[in-house]
Amino acid sequence: MAYQEILGIPIWGEHDEATLAQIQRCAADPEVVGAALMADGHKGYSMPIGGVIAYHDAVSPSGVGYDISCGIKAVRTPIRAAELRPRISMLMDEIARTVVFGIGQTSGKARDHELFDDPAWRDQPAIGKLKQLAREQLGTVGSGNHFVDLLEDEQGLVWVAVHFGSRGLGHRTASGFLNLASGRSFDDKAPGESMDQPATVISLSTNLGQSYWQAIELAGRYAYAGRDFVVQQVLDVLGAQPTEMVHNHHNYAWKERHNGKDVIVVRKGATPAWPGQRGVIGGSMGDISVIVEGLESAAAAAALRSTVHGAGRVMSRTQAAGKRRWTKKNGRRVQEQLKPGAISREMMREWLERENVELRGAGTDESPHVYRRLPEVLAHHQGTIKIIHTLRPFGVVMAGEEVTDPYRD
């Protein structure tokens, strides 16, 4: 399906006015030399999820966002899904016990990783102060839409996929540099900011810009190391070795060349898709995921060699799960439902039973009902990517419904 141009911006799919207004506002910055919006787009902080912006010698910390270097790693195994299905309940219990989920959670299991010898920790004292937090959190998954999946491909083989980013390190790095860009101290508490906040753009010709670039590169290596660790944990549970691997970020900034110009491309919830480059695109817990490969085409060039990162939300978390608050009951901290949401656990369970998916954790704000169907989203990007593998989930683990995460999406 062809894209349309709105004020010179290539747009794939259908979007609400708030999302379109965000990408237009980002594209209006004087340092911007290109922009695009993917078909899974929806409103985000300062820049829409699914947004792609190319800057001349500048980068946007609000565009990269708080979950720096969030991405997906997927590996294929020689195990057949039919071998695992009879004991899927036991396996998912073991994976849920082995992998640490939840905001602020620590494990310390990967604290001696060679990443912590990286000189970047010494070069920037503010980032160096986050080293201990990073040590404890490396290899933990977090909450929100972050997951560990077992999936079956078209040949009946099992894939392991994990989705998360740079955890507290990324969030503290993002908030710190947004503070510095606004004239505050790195560790200051930021004032309340609007989702419609104008993009924060930092020139790479400044010391601040160079410091931020070094910090996100470190966060990128950290996220890769974390996903590597969790995938290996799951492979150990399965007793498997990987036979194929795809791994990339979808919240990051890259130095690239487009239309004969060297630029910085910020992708917020968008996957790089250069010709021949493979990427992982996740659906909801009750829908397919895919391994794709970028194609050479005029549309792919217009997309700044980018594609979707997922199916895209069509319902907010509060709409789906309702309004809740934390309260104390019998000395324990519990959630109290103030207003019901549109999605019940029965609805979510019925969908997953129909798709034969074994779930651990997750709240109704991550139900398949709140997402577009991935095949429909991918159809908008025909001619820019080709599907290499179609993966159907049969085991999903996410943080439990009792976990609150103010940094989700």
Query: Which residue has 């670039």 as its token pair?
Result: 213
Tokens found for residue 347: 């609805």
pLDDT of residue 272: 98
The rounded distance, in Å, linking the Cα atoms of 88 and 81 is 10
- Kindly indicate the confidence band of residue 2, based on its pLDDT and cuts at 50, 70 and 90: confident
Beta pairing, strands 261-268 & 49-55 = antiparallel
404 pLDDT above the threshold of 60:
no
Task: Kindly tell me if the per-residue pLDDT of 117 is higher than 80.
Answer: yes
> Cβ(11)–Cβ(5) under 8 Å?
yes
Percent with pLDDT over 70 in the chain: 94
DSSP string of 116-162, one letter each residue: GG-THHHH-HHHHTTHHHHHHHTTB--STT-EEEEEE-TTSEEEEEE
d(CA 154, CA 310): 20
- pLDDT over 70 (residue 326): no
Instruction: Specify the higher pLDDT residue, 341 or 223.
Output: 223
Flag whether pLDDT at 327 surpasses 80.
Answer: no
Residue with structure tokens 């789906």?
Answer: 320
pLDDT score of 93? 97
**Across all residues in the chain, what is the average pLDDT?**
93
Cβ atoms of 340 and 364 within 8 Å: the answer is no
Q: What is d(CA 69, CA 102) in angstroms, rounded to the nearest whole number?
A: 18
Rounded to whole angstroms, the Cα distance separating 391 from 160 reads 10
Q: What is the pLDDT of residues 68-114, one digit of tens each?
A: 999 999 999 999 999 999 999 999 999 999 999 876 767 777 778 99
Beta-strand pair 244-249/4-6 = unpaired
Whether the pLDDT of residue 402 is over 80: the answer is no
Nearest to 259 by CA among 302, 307, 202, 208: 302
250: helix, coil or strand? coil
d(CA 130, CA 71): 21
Alpha helices in 200-316 (DSSP H): 207-238, 298-302
> What pLDDT score was predicted for residue 324?
66
**74: part of which helix (H) or strand (E)?**
strand 71-80
The rounded Cα 115 to chain-centroid distance in angstroms is 21
pTM of the model: 0.93
* HEC string for 4-64: EEECCEEECCCCCHHHHHHHHHHHCCCCEEEEEEEEEEECCCCCCEEEEEEECCEECHHHH
Q: Assess whether pLDDT exceeds 70 at residue 333.
A: no
Q: What does the block give as tokens for 103?
A: 């905001």
DSSP per-residue codes, 271-304: EE--BT-EEEEB--TTS-EEEEEE--SHHHHHTT
Structure tokens that stand for 231 in this block:
């995938």
What H or E segment, with its residue span, contains residue 385?
A: strand 385-400
pLDDT (mean) for 182-199: 90
Asked whether the beta carbons of 279 and 251 are under 8 A apart, the reply is no
pLDDT at 210 > cutoff 50: yes
With 0-12 / 13-18 / 19 or more C-beta atoms within 10 angstroms meaning exposed / middle / buried, residue 241 is: exposed
Nearest-angstrom CA–CA distance, 306 and 251: 12
Q: What is the pLDDT of residue 216?
A: 98
**Strand 385-400 to 358-362 pairing:** parallel
Which DSSP letter does residue 408 get? -
- Kindly tell me if the per-residue pLDDT of 409 is higher than 50: no
Predicted confidence (pLDDT) per residue in 285-323, tens digit: 999 999 999 999 999 999 999 999 999 999 988 899 887
Write down the pLDDT at residue 405: 44
Residue 264 pLDDT exceeds 70 = yes
Q: 390: which strand partners? A: 290
- Residue 204 has a pLDDT of 98
Report long-range pairs for 331-336 (Cβ below 8 Å, ≥24 apart).
Answer: 334/402, 335/402, 335/404
Task: Identify the pLDDT of residue 403.
Answer: 53
| CB 323 within 8 Å of CB 339 | yes
Phi, psi of 287 (to 5 degrees): -140, 170
Question: What fold does the segment set 4-60+71-400 form as a domain?
Answer: tRNA-splicing ligase RtcB (3.90.1860)
Cα atoms found within 13 Å of the Cα of residue 346, Cβ hemisphere only? 1
